[in-house]
Amino acid sequence: MVARVWSLMRFLIKGSVAGGAVYLVYDQELLGPSDKSQAALQKARTK
């Protein structure tokens, strides 16, 4: 029973990390038209 709960927790944590990464990429506009992506990348490099 404990192993099954631990497995579920690992799955949820990994899913949360992946979801957060996707959110961050969309929030920073890195996935989109190339001109916006280039501008966002330049903005990130200057920080």
Q: What are the tens digits of pLDDT across the range 16-45?
A: 999 999 998 888 777 777 777 788 778 888
Choice between 39 and 12, residue whose per-residue pLDDT is larger:
12
Q: At CB < 8 A and 24+ separation, what contacts does 11-17 make?
A: none
Residue 35 lies inside a defined structural domain of this protein: yes
* DSSP string covering the chain: -HHHHHHHHHHHHHHHHHHHHHHHHHHTT-SS-HHHHHHHHHHHHH-
Distance of CA 47 to the CA centre of its chain: 19
Number of structural domains found in the chain: 1
Q: What pLDDT does 42 receive?
A: 83
Q: Is residue 36 in a domain?
A: yes
Q: What is the mean pLDDT of residues 4-26?
A: 94
41 occurs within a structural domain:
yes
For residue 6, being part of any structural domain is answered with no
Residue 8 lies in a domain: no
Boundaries of domain holding 41: 18-47
47 pLDDT higher than 70:
no
* 46 within a domain of the structure (yes/no): yes
Distance CA 9, CA 45 (A): 35
